[in-house]
């Protein structure tokens, strides 16, 4: 995967600015000084400074040079969503025509699919390791593996999770056929048809589809741009309703990219413990952080086994690697029985591939460059959206993950907007697919999983300018 020569100095400056070692308004070294110090070309240094400018850390003052930006903290609006605490039957009949189910990735600038594209997938690494697995394991790959997955793989996953404070028992981990199967098992093991569950709002439509298939009723808990999951709203809901489970994505929530604070995670856990409500935690984006360290998951604070955490490798390696895992906490017996009814075991070659990657640290090396590329694409896409779309739009800066959550003016004809996007070969995911309600009609999700090219920037510019015309 591509790395950038300018990272040798931008990483240092970024750390100095964020730590306060370099004060706001301080003049930074000139392009020539950086060139000589780090033995870079002038274009590499300029590209590096452009990167820091896009991140909002640095300002370029013509004929004066580069300075640490004064206005680094963005103005984040309060949400305007005022939802009612009404339990809804989860009849999911949204039109998914413009979602990731659409297969025009090679024809379109696809900003709607949250999975690694070719530039992010470590193809050589994966194919090399798979060849090693085939040579070493041979015909054993054609046999059934243990029901809950390879014990060695489960041990490698728990060893890795322990590094960020999440202690799990490998004997109680269940390997699944992707994250959605893990979610299905978790939900089905603690609920029955007609039960009421709480879910974050907005919520990715794949989770909503699982809820709908299980015939569950939902209460949607709003997320706020500043604080994430509204724990006070959730507390009031639990005081007045028989909530049987809550589904959350605390780390780099899809579609907003919001990171829940440790304080809020602990508060949510405390409320769940009082009411004995299982927390089903989606940690699929936890490794895709843009900051310095991986965030904790809620499972890290759980002492009673009430948290059921699941994840997978399809978002960090390749979408075709259908291998996930579920830590079911105290609900292990129920989840194991349900897993058995869904099939014998996950494809052995994927299990052995992940063992190879985890035991050699290849996975973590890949993630370091993967995150840098993702962050660069996030910055470029966010910059284009904010630059070309109407001023009274809002695009939330993600702290990790894959997606940017956008909100457009409420007098916009959204049908005309999506039709024009289609004509420019731009695919966004409509906001109303992220809820059983109609709260997000004027929102959309933009995904930065693919390279941001000059062609895609031009298309975004045309869409932004046309959107302004629609408002006039």
Q: Compute CA 314 distance to the chain's CA centroid, rounded to the nearest angstrom.
A: 12
Tell me the average pLDDT across 296-317: 96
Q: Mind listing the pLDDT tens digit for each residue in 217-261?
A: 999 999 988 878 999 999 999 999 999 999 999 999 999 999 999
Tell me the average pLDDT across 438-464: 92
Say what the pLDDT of residue 98 is. 43
Q: Mind listing the pLDDT tens digit for each residue in 190-225?
A: 999 999 999 999 999 999 999 999 999 999 999 988
Nearest Cα neighbor of 205 from 49, 343, 93 is: 93
Q: Mind listing the pLDDT tens digit for each residue in 327-386?
A: 999 999 999 999 988 876 789 999 999 999 999 888 999 999 899 889 989 999 999 999
- Answer whether 288's CB lies under 8 Å from 400's CB: yes
Report whether the peptide linkage leading into residue 202 is cis, meaning its omega lies within 30 degrees of zero: yes
The mean of the pLDDT values for the chain is 89
> CA of 333: how far to CAs of 148, 174, 356, in Å?
12, 11, 29
Nearest Cα neighbor of 448 from 115, 121, 225 is: 115
Q: What percent of the chain has pLDDT over 70?
A: 90
Identify the structural domains of the chain with CATH numbers, from first to last: 7-68 (1.10.10.10), 94-119+365-471 (3.90.1150.10), 139-364 (3.40.640.10)
Q: Mind listing the pLDDT tens digit for each residue in 404-440?
A: 999 999 999 999 999 999 988 899 999 999 998 889 9
What pTM does this model have?
0.86
């Amino acid at each position: 995967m591509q790395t950038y020569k300018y990272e040798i100095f931008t990483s240092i400056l970024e750390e100095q600015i964020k730590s306060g070692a370099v004060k706001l308004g301080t003049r930074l070294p000139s392009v020539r000084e950086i060139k000589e110090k780090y033995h870079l070309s002038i274009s590499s240094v300029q590209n590096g400074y452009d990167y820091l400018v896009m991140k909002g850390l640095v300002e370029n003052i013509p004929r004066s040079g580069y300075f640490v930006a004064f206005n680094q903290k963005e103005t984040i609006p309060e949400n305007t969503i005022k939802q009612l605490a009404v339990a809804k039957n989860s009849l999911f009949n949204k039109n998914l025509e413009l979602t990731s189910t659409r297969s025009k990735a090679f024809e379109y600038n696809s900003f709607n699919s949250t999975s690694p594209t070719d530039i992010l997938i470590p193809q050589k690494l994966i194919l090399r390791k798979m060849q090693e697995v085939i040579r070493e394991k041979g015909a054993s790959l054609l046999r059934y593996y243990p029901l809950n997955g390879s014990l060695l793989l489960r041990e490698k996953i728990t060893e890795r999770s322990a590094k960020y404070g999440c202690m799990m028992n490998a004997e109680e981990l269940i390997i699944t056929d992707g994250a959605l199967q893990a979610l299905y098992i978790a939900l089905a093991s603690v609920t029955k048809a007609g039960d009421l569950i709480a879910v974050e709002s907005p919520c990715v439509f794949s989770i909503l589809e699982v809820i709908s298939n299980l015939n569950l009723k939902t209460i949607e808990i709003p997320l706020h741009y500043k604080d994430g999951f509204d724990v006070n709203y959730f507390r009031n809901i639990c005081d007045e309703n028989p909530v049987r489970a809550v589904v959350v994505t605390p780390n780099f929530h899809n579609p907003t990219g919001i990171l829940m604070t440790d304080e809020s995670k602990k508060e949510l856990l405390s409320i769940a413990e009082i009411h004995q409500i299982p927390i089903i935690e989606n940690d699929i984006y936890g490794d895709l952080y843009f900051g310095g360290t991986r965030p904790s998951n809620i499972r890290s604070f759980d002492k009673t086994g009430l948290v059921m955490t699941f994840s997978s490798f399809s978002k960090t390696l390749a979408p075709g690697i259908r291998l996930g895992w579920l830590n079911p906490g105290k609900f292990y017996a129920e989840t194991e029985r349900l897993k058995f009814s869904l099939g014998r075991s996950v494809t052995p070659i994927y299990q052995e591939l992940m063992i190879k990657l985890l035991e050699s640290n290849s996975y973590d090396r890949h993630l370091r460059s993967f995150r840098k590329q993702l962050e660069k694409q996030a910055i470029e896409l966010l910059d284009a959206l904010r630059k070309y779309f109407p001023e009274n739009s809002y695009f939330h800066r993600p702290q990790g993950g894959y997606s940017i959550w956008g909100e457009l003016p409420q007098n916009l004809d959204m049908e005309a907007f999506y039709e024009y996007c289609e004509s420019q070969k731009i695919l966004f995911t409509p906001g109303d697919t992220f809820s059983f309600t109609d709260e997000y009609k004027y929102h959309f999700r933009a995904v930065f999983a693919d390279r941001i090219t000059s062609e895609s920037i031009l298309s975004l510019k045309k869409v932004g300018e046309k959107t302004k015309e629609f408002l006039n």
